[in-house]
Amino acid sequence: MAIELYDVGLVVIGLTLLGITVLQLVASERAISLPIFFVAFGAAVFLIPGIPAPDPLEQGLLVEHLAELGVIIALMALGLKIDRPPGLRRWAVTWRLLAITMPLSIAGAALLGWWLVGFLVPTAVLLGAVIAPTDPVLASEVQVKEPGEGGMDEEGSEPRFALSSEAGLNDGLAFPFTNLAIAIALVGLAPGNWLGEWLLVAVGYKIVVGTVAGVALGAVLARIIFAAAPETRIAQSVRGLEAIAGTLFAYGLTEVVGGYGFIAVFVAALTIRHYERDHEYNASLHQIAELAEQVLMALIMLFFGGAIVGGLLGPLTLEGTLAALAVVFLVRPLAGAIGLVGFDRPWGERGAIAFFGIRGIGSFYYLAHGLNEAAFADADLLWAVVGAIVLVSVVVHGVTATPVMKRLH
C-alpha cells in the first residue's frame, strides 16, 4: 500500500501542534527549550525515505515569506507584553544595545566572514547583517513575562527587558545593513554608487516611516480594539484575534508606503499595550499572538531540522565552523559587554544580556531576502555558516537560559 505524502504531512503537523502544548510541561522548568525539540523532530521526519528535505537555496521565496510571517507575529506578541513605558532613560539599556552592540556585532561577523572564511565583501557584509537580530521568536526563556507580570522593579527583570526590547527593535534595524550588502552586490564597492541613496532611503526614510506608521496605526488599532468588550458568543469566541489582524495590517500597510514593517509592528504593539495598560483584554491579545508565534516557530524549526539532514551544513568548512562558533561565543558577548560598559547594573546581569543574543528565524529571513534580491558568491557556504550559528545558538542558549535566568531572579 502506497503512503501519501499528504497523509504523512497531516501526521507531522498534528504531532507538531500537539508538541507545542505537551512539551511546554516538560521544558518549562528544565534546562532545555522547545526549539531544540522541534529541530530534532524535523531531522527525524525528513530522514524518512521518500520525504524530500527542504532546501533554502532552491526554495528561497518560501523561506523568506515563512520566516517573515514568524518574525512579525513574534514582534506583535513581544510588544504586547512589555510593561515598561518607552523613554530615553527607562530604555537606556536598549539604546546601548542598538547603538553600540549591534553595529559592533555586524562589523565583527563581517570581518570574520571576510578574513577567516574568505567571503567576498558583499557576502561578508550580508553575513554581518543577518546575524544582527536578537531573535524575538526563539528567545522566550529570556524575555519579559506576560502583560502585567514584568515590572520594572522586580529583581532580575533588567536582562529580560533588555533582551526583549532589543529583539523588538533590532529586527527592523538590521534591514539597512542587509540593504547595504545588496547594494554592494549590485553596484560594487564604490560608495559613490550607493552611499547617498542608502543613507537617505534605507537608513532615514524607511526607519522614520516605520516608526511613525507604528505609532499612528497602533493608536488607531487600540481605539478599535478597546472600544467595546465582546458580548455575543461569536465575538467572545474570537477574543484576541485583533492581534493577528493588527499585525498583518500594520506590516502590510507600512511596507506599501515604503517603511520597515518590522519596526512598525513592534511599535504598534507597544502603542496598543500602553493605550489601556490595565485592561483585561491585553491578556487575550497576547495569548492569541503568542499561540500563533509558537505554531510558526515549531513549523520553521521543523523545516530547519529537515534542511540540516538534507545537507544544509554540508558545504561548511573548518573556517566556517570556527566563524560560527566565534559569532556565538565571542562576537556577540564582547560587543554586548562593550555596549554595557558603565551601565549601572550588576556584572551578572550585564553578562547575561551580553551572552543571550539568540540568533534564529530573523537571520533566516534576512539571508533569504538578501539572496532573493541579488547574487552573492558562496551562497551555499553562507547558508551553512548561518545555519551553524543558529543551531549552536538554539542548543547552547536553549540549555543555559532557564538556569541562568532563575539564578538572576
Q: How far apart are CA 279 and CA 3, in angstroms?
A: 51
pLDDT value of residue 230? 60
Q: Which residue has the cell 510588544?
A: 79
Lowest mean pLDDT, pick from 122-131, 262-271, 395-404: 395-404
Q: Which amino acid is present at 35?
A: P
- Burial class (CB within 10 angstroms; exposed 0-12, middle 13-18, buried 19+) of 371: buried
| Mean pLDDT over the full length of the chain | 86
pLDDT value of residue 383? 98
Q: How confident is the model at residue 237 (pLDDT cuts 50, 70, 90)?
A: very low
pLDDT value of residue 278? 62
Contacts of 193-201 with C-beta under 8 Å, sequence gap 24+, read none
Copy the grid coordinates of residue 296. 510558526
Quick: pLDDT tens for 285-301.
767 778 888 888 999 99
Nearest to 42 by CA among 353, 325, 299: 299
Buried b / exposed e across 53-64, counting CB within 10 Å, b at 16+?
Answer: bbbbeeebeebb
Q: DSSP H helical segments within 80-156, as ranges?
A: 92-96, 102-112, 121-130
Domain 5-46+60-408: which CATH number of 2.40.50.100, 1.20.1530.20, 3.40.50.720, 3.30.230.10: 1.20.1530.20
Nearest to 56 by CA among 392, 318, 397, 390: 390
Task: Write the CB contacts of 405 (distance below 8 Å, at least 6 apart in sequence).
Answer: 141, 142, 156, 159, 160, 352
Please provide the size of the chain in residues: 409
Q: What is the model's pTM?
A: 0.92
Q: How far apart are CA 244 and CA 148, in angstroms?
A: 20
Domain ranges of the chain: 5-46+60-408
